Amino acid sequence: MLKKLLPMVLAMTFCLSAAADEADIRKQMEAKLGAKVESVTKSGYLGLYEVYADGNIFYTDEKMSAIVVSGQLIDAKTMKNVTDERMKKLTAIRFGDLPLDRAIKQVRGDGKRVLATFEDPNCGYCKRLAKELQKLDNVTIYTFLLPILSEDSVRKSKQIWCSGDRAKAWNDWMIDGKAPAGREDCDTTAVTKNQEFGRKLNITGTPTMFFADGERIPGAIPLARIEQKLGQAK
């Protein structure tokens, strides 16, 4: 009986010890970073722990003798960027959890492929993206107005949201440079809620895109990359 129980006891002791280490690292890292730590896991490399907090990955050892900030962990055998792969998983969402009723909806062709973007109307990269997205077909694009650059961004977002044809008002401004000139005193709680939702998702820059598989991609990426992702995320 003892022989049977010993491995089980040792395994439980190891698990409790690991849990204690992770809890201690979480507590200390929160104190050092001044931010909530979302997760602490063993990275599987060099005895380092992966700490995910404030939308970033940090690495530290069990004694917290050093903290790696903005570092990329690369697997030497495969040359795979471990940090990048982990960030894709940690920042992914369920597409169905997006509040799509608070987005400007544009349907092209059969609309079967889906893409969601969070954009500021005064973002230059967003304007570049808007022109690229015009070339897509058979896609439904959900654009969330996320004014984060200035008060003018907030005003333009509200004017676009209050327009009779939101998609037209958005494209007129982003593609043709025709500024929205309508009212901004309709129910614009969608814009405010998008700002809150953006903070919840740790979206700190625009554009930020989400695909059907939940993967997040920040920045204006080439059209070929968008087409590739739309094909993979069906």
Note the pLDDT tens digit of each residue in 74-129.
999 999 998 888 888 888 889 999 999 999 999 999 999 999 999 999 999 999 99
pLDDT of 3 higher than 50 = no
Q: Which of 30, 61, 90 is the last residue of a domain?
A: 90
Q: Which of 59, 90, 121 is the last residue of a domain?
A: 90
| pLDDT, average across residues 191-203 | 95
| pLDDT, average across residues 142-164 | 97
User: Which candidate, 22, 55, 24, places its Cα nearest to that of 41?
Assistant: 22
Residue 212's beta-bridge partner residues?
Answer: none
97 vs 30, 90, 117, 133, 203, CA distance in Å? Answer: 28, 16, 14, 23, 16
Give the global pTM: 0.78
Predicted local distance difference test score (pLDDT) of residue 71: 82
Position 174 confidence tier, pLDDT thresholds 50, 70, 90: very high
Residues 86 and 109 in one domain: no
Give buried/exposed letters for 184-222 (b at 16+ CB in 10 A, else e).
beeebebbeebbebbeebebeebbbbbbbebbbbeebbe
3-state secondary structure of 47: coil
Position 16 confidence tier, pLDDT thresholds 50, 70, 90: very low
How many other C-beta atoms are found inside a 10 Å radius of the C-beta of residue 99? 12
3-state secondary structure of 163: coil
pLDDT of 2 higher than 80 = no
In whole angstroms, what is the distance from residue 99 CA to residue 193 CA? Answer: 10
Q: Is 202 left (phi over 0), alpha (psi -120 to 50) or beta?
A: left
Position 11 confidence tier, pLDDT thresholds 50, 70, 90: very low
- How many domains would you assign to the chain? 2
Do 143 and 107 meet the contact criterion of CB atoms below 8 Å apart?
Answer: no
**Average pLDDT in the chain:** 88
Do 179 and 169 meet the contact criterion of CB atoms below 8 Å apart?
Answer: no
Q: Which of 68, 90, 112 is the last residue of a domain?
A: 90
Residues 149 and 198 in one domain: yes
pLDDT of 8 higher than 90 = no
Predicted local distance difference test score (pLDDT) of residue 20: 53
pLDDT of 168 higher than 50 = yes
Residues 118 and 206 in one domain: yes
User: Which candidate, 85, 84, 89, 73, places its Cα nearest to that of 39?
Assistant: 89
Position 15 confidence tier, pLDDT thresholds 50, 70, 90: very low
Q: In what order do the strands lie in the sheet with 49-53?
A: 37-42, 49-53, 56-60, 67-69
Residues 118 and 207 in one domain: yes
Residues 56 and 171 in one domain: no
Residues 167 and 111 in one domain: yes
The parent domain of residue 129 ranges over: 95-232
Amino acid at 182: G
Residues 33 and 103 in one domain: no
In whole angstroms, what is the distance from residue 70 CA to residue 43 CA? Answer: 15
| pLDDT, average across residues 31-36 | 89
Residues 142 and 227 in one domain: yes
Predicted local distance difference test score (pLDDT) of residue 138: 96
Predicted local distance difference test score (pLDDT) of residue 234: 59
Residues 80 and 118 in one domain: no
